[in-house]
Structure 1
Amino acid sequence: MKTNLLPHKTFICCVLSLSLLLNGLAQNSTSPFKVIGFYTAKNDPAHISYVQEANKWLAKAAVDNHFVYDSTNNWDNMNARFLAQYQVVLFLDTRPDSPAQRTAFQQYMEQDGAWIGFHFAGFALTPSAFPQNWDWYHNQFLGCGEYKGNTWRPTAAVLRVEDGKHPFTKHLPATFKSAPNEWYSWQKDLRKNPAIKILLSIDSTSFPLGTGPKQHEIWHSGYYPVAWTNTRYRMLYVNMGHNDIDYENKTNKELSFTFANETQNRFILDALLWLGRSKTAVIKNN
């Protein structure tokens, strides 16, 4: 009898150890993912208003959906050691400018990092304070090249869902009305890039889009993508991120808010949750 007792205790200990190990692994697999939002929030009141709003909305979304959200305006944090803490990186309004910051971000994305960029994060115009001097980012990663033009004033648009089966768009109707925004056009035709999957575009029922007074800032026709992913990376660019501001009367009063639109919010949140939880998954083009 005594000779059977020790193996029996050993078996129980092994079972308990295995149970604790599996429980630890389960806790690790369900631990909240971490998101870091980089921003600048200087100069343009419309962009500053949007960034402040975005940080508040993302902080609440993190609590409601069980992930961690941090934000920083220190772009020197764009380094390998800092980025290793986070599963998703956001560019809320601008982009990194130093060679070291740019190299760190490219390596992060090439090593299965995830990213969402908003509105001005895609902007590049030569000559300007934000010239197109980062070919990997603007031509390969985003695929759109330089900024070409925009609508004015910020107005809502009817957006068309180009792929309703994509994880980012699966909860969206075929078309929906956006929050007011300044809409960008681009140098390159994204439809000709096999790596790019366009998810949202301006629906033709939106035209004329913009109110002027400059006529070239009112769109009457054409194809304008406003949200897309590059299927070689875990990423999403969305053109939204410019609140309407009362510039004319010099009050700088906020006249619209980007995150006041529940359907648009659902799209952004679904993308964020998928990128944060999917780890290394990449969605290929059909």
Structure 2
Amino acid sequence: MNAFKPGFFIVVISCLLFTAVQAQTKKPEFNVIAFYTGKNDKAHVSFVHEANKWFSKIAEANKFRYDSTSNWSNLNPVFLSKYQVVLFLDTRPEDPEQRRAFEQYMKNGGAWMGFHFSAFALKDSAYPQNWDWYHNVFLGSGQYGSNTWRPTSAVLKVEDAKHPVTKKLPATFKSSPNEWYRWSNDLRKNPDIKILLAIDSSSFPLGTGPKAYEIWHEGYYPVVWSNTRYRMIYFNMGHNDMDYEHPPHNKELSFSFANETQNQLILNSLLWLGPAKK
């Protein structure tokens, strides 16, 4: 019978621990920073909390690092130099210096992913259309036009099945509930814009009201698109359904990241924006 050799087991355990440490300390392929405000509409706040949890959860398995901040003063060249992808989860920068820093970051090859309200702009509102480059050139959408209400699911149609973002997605799929936006500009007329997903006509009527104009019965509505002049993608999704009317008020009725197909679309987009494939 072989004698017990403790030295052998010490070596084996040391090797296993070293391998585990290596796996945990392996440098990510790219770094992501998400900016958010998270103070206004409860539906947007709900989405922000949900997004931060979801991106943090999937980061290590997909070889990226995820950080988030509500300090918009971090939107400066020194801070941004640490990150390859920037996310706007709910709003946009308002300070002129922050806006210039973001525009320069994008023109220098940075990447961006935006959700829902980050594209909102409306004259004489708290978020006026006073940033022409961002809304008309970068996003291409112009001002907010109108929205559906209540937040409801829609059948989304893939408009470009060959794009890396839409790979392995079905031709149509049902989204998580959302408040859908209409824009002042027709994105189909902009040669720089690549529309990736739009609302399928089978979704109509879309919305439940109570106001008649909050229910859409026809029309063409892009919901995910990219600007081919930049490394960017915008998602109109990002507004959870909330129970504002009944106690306990502000109860969450839906979650944006409770949809596997939609999640795959977002993950595909983030990995496409990551520098490893550029």
Please, what TM-score do these two structures have when normalized by structure 2? 0.89
Correspondence 1:214 to 2:231: no
Give the 3-state SS of the residue equivalent to 1:42 in structure 2: coil
Correspondence 1:50 to 2:47: yes
Does the aligned pair in 1 maintain the 2:28–2:65 contact within 8 Å?
Answer: no
Identity over the aligned pairs, expressed in percent?
A: 70
User: Which amino acid is 2:254 matched to?
Assistant: S
Q: 1:86 aligns with which of 79, 83, 86?
A: 83
Residues of 1 paired with 2:276 and 2:92: CA distance?
Answer: 25
Q: Give, in angstroms, the shift of residue 278 of structure 1.
A: 4.1
Residues of 2 paired with 1:278 and 1:32: CA distance?
Answer: 7
Residues of 1 paired with 2:214 and 2:86: CA distance?
Answer: 32
Does the aligned pair in 2 maintain the 1:171–1:267 contact within 8 Å?
Answer: no
Structure 2 equivalent of residue 166 of structure 1: 163
Q: CA RMSD in A?
A: 1.2
Q: 1:74 aligns with which of 58, 71, 74?
A: 71
Correspondence 1:143 to 2:140: yes
Does the aligned pair in 2 maintain the 1:35–1:68 contact within 8 Å?
Answer: yes
Q: 2:109 aligns with which of 87, 112, 126?
A: 112
Q: Give, in angstroms, the shift of residue 274 of structure 1.
A: 1.3
Q: 5+ unaligned residues in a row in structure 1: which ranges?
A: 1-28, 282-286
Correspondence 1:193 to 2:187: no
Greater gyration radius: 1
Q: Give, in angstroms, the shift of residue 249 of structure 1.
A: 1.3
Residues of 1 paired with 2:217 and 2:246: CA distance?
Answer: 28
Residues of 1 paired with 2:94 and 2:199: CA distance?
Answer: 30
Residues of 1 paired with 2:132 and 2:45: CA distance?
Answer: 27
Q: 2:252 aligns with which of 247, 251, 254?
A: 254
Closer/same/farther in 2, CA of residues 276 and 39 from structure 1, 3 Å limit: same
Q: Give, in angstroms, the shift of residue 137 of structure 1.
A: 0.1
Q: Give, in angstroms, the shift of residue 30 of structure 1.
A: 7.2
Correspondence 1:32 to 2:29: yes
Aligned length: 252
Residues of 2 paired with 1:52 and 1:140: CA distance?
Answer: 30
**What are the Cα deviations for residues 6-43 of structure 1, in whole angstroms up to 9, with x where unaligned?**
xxxxxxxxxxxxxxxxxxxxxxx974210000000012
Residues of 2 paired with 1:218 and 1:259: CA distance?
Answer: 24
Residues of 2 paired with 1:252 and 1:141: CA distance?
Answer: 34
User: Which amino acid is 2:47 matched to?
Assistant: Y
Structure 2 equivalent of residue 17 of structure 1: none
Give the 3-state SS of the residue equivalent to 2:135 in structure 1: helix
Q: 2:236 aligns with which of 226, 236, 239?
A: 239
Residues of 2 paired with 1:170 and 1:43: CA distance?
Answer: 35
User: Which amino acid is 1:190 matched to?
Assistant: L
User: Which amino acid is 2:52 matched to?
Assistant: N
Residues of 2 paired with 1:149 and 1:45: CA distance?
Answer: 19
Q: 5+ unaligned residues in a row in structure 2: which ranges?
A: 1-25
Residues of 1 paired with 2:259 and 2:275: CA distance?
Answer: 24
Q: Give, in angstroms, the shift of residue 64 of structure 1.
A: 2.1
Structure 2 equivalent of residue 22 of structure 1: none
